[in-house]
Structure 1
Amino acid sequence: MYLASNPQRLCSVKEVSEYHDISRNHLVKIVLRLVEAGYVSSFKGKGGGMQLAKPSNEIQLGDVIKLLEPNMTMVECFDPATNTCRITGSCNVKHYLYEASQSFIETMNKHTLEDAISTQ
């Protein structure tokens, strides 16, 4: 959202982390994933920084959420590798939760990054 609000210039990780009061190291990891996925372009060196790689009206929010939260592990049984739930075999709630998580992504994909930023 910060990059979408500042489309006319390159922004630094330091600037964004300070503005949002979040860990710089954590933000570096997020930016790397966004760069790899083609949402953000980054430029090294003096005068470098980052900016959106495509217009904010072409970036669907649900797709970004899926990228950054690929498992959407709402409950333990969503991860077979670590699941120790004793009722997994007879529980249908996991199906409803999975359906709800898919609906969440679909709903978020009705909106773009441009929709999410205030133009005031």
Structure 2
Amino acid sequence: MRLTNYTDYALRSLIYLAVKPAPQALANISDIADSYNISKSHLTKIIHQLGQLGYIDSVRGKNGGIRLARAPKDINLGVLIKQIEPDFALVECFATTLPNDNSSQNNEATQKGLPITLIEESKNAASVGCVISPACQLKAVFFEALNAFINVLERYTLADIINNKDELNTLLSL
């Protein structure tokens, strides 16, 4: 499993905002982009989504900027990643979880909040793209691995990954 740069930059942005010496002071996107040497325009889209999801407060105007909207201990990494990562389909026999799907694995995925499920075994293999899909045991292994991946992420919060604030401040030139 590989997370997208989008998710990576979202996490980096939250880290930046959480380790600032004055956490409630406003920061700006340019400072974050410069600290990590990443595109300001790309980061603007990410910050916008983080704001829509309630992770970041933004203040408009001449003295505006952004700051965390929640305490770092209240930002669960697994929940955040499930909200912003666009694709958890590790293989082509995974699909977006459907709200009315009642299969046991799909209920397990929904209960865990996973945005994926396994495509029904009874479907035509040609529609999935893999001829062994109806008999394949590998997809269940991948599904279990993805669940484990998400479960580990859900054990951590932003606070857990910023307990070395002084070192991070130095590296980010804060």
TM-score norm. by structure 1 comes to 0.87
SS in 1 for 2:57: strand
**Partner residue of 1:3 out of 17, 29, 38:** 17
Identity of aligned residues (%): 38
Q: Structure 2 CA distance, aligned partners of 1:25 and 1:89?
A: 44
Q: Structure 2 CA distance, aligned partners of 1:74 and 1:47?
A: 44
The verdict on how the C-alpha distance between 1:20 and 1:99 changes in structure 2, with shifts beyond 3 A counting, is same
SS in 1 for 2:80: helix
Contact 2:24 2:68 in 1 (8 A): no
Aligned length: 119
Q: Structure 1 CA distance, aligned partners of 2:46 and 2:72?
A: 17
The verdict on how the C-alpha distance between 1:29 and 1:84 changes in structure 2, with shifts beyond 3 A counting, is farther
Which residues of 2 match residues 1-120 of structure 1 at below 5 A? 1-6=15-20, 7-79=23-95, 83-117=128-162, 118-120=164-166
**What RMSD over aligned residues (CA atoms) do the two structures have, in Å?**
1.9
Amino acid in structure 2 at the alignment position of 1:5: V
Contact 1:30 1:68 in 2 (8 A): no
Contact 1:77 1:88 in 2 (8 A): yes
Contact 2:57 2:66 in 1 (8 A): yes
TM-score norm. by structure 2 comes to 0.62
Q: Structure 2 CA distance, aligned partners of 1:77 and 1:107?
A: 23
The verdict on how the C-alpha distance between 1:23 and 1:83 changes in structure 2, with shifts beyond 3 A counting, is farther
Q: Structure 2 CA distance, aligned partners of 1:119 and 1:11?
A: 17
Amino acid in structure 1 at the alignment position of 2:19: S
Q: Structure 2 CA distance, aligned partners of 1:86 and 1:23?
A: 42
Render the CA deviation track for 1:59-80: whole Å, top value 9, x for unaligned. 1111111111143122232247
SS in 2 for 1:89: helix
Larger radius of gyration: 2
Q: Can you give the 5+ residue segments of structure 1 that lack an aligned partner in the other structure?
A: none
Amino acid in structure 2 at the alignment position of 1:119: K
Question: Which is worse superposed, 85-94 or 100-109?
Answer: 85-94
Could you list the structure 1 runs, at least 4 aligned residues long, displaced by more than 3 angstroms after superposition.
none
- How far the C-alpha of 1:84 sits from its partner, in A, is 2.8
- How far the C-alpha of 1:8 sits from its partner, in A, is 3.6
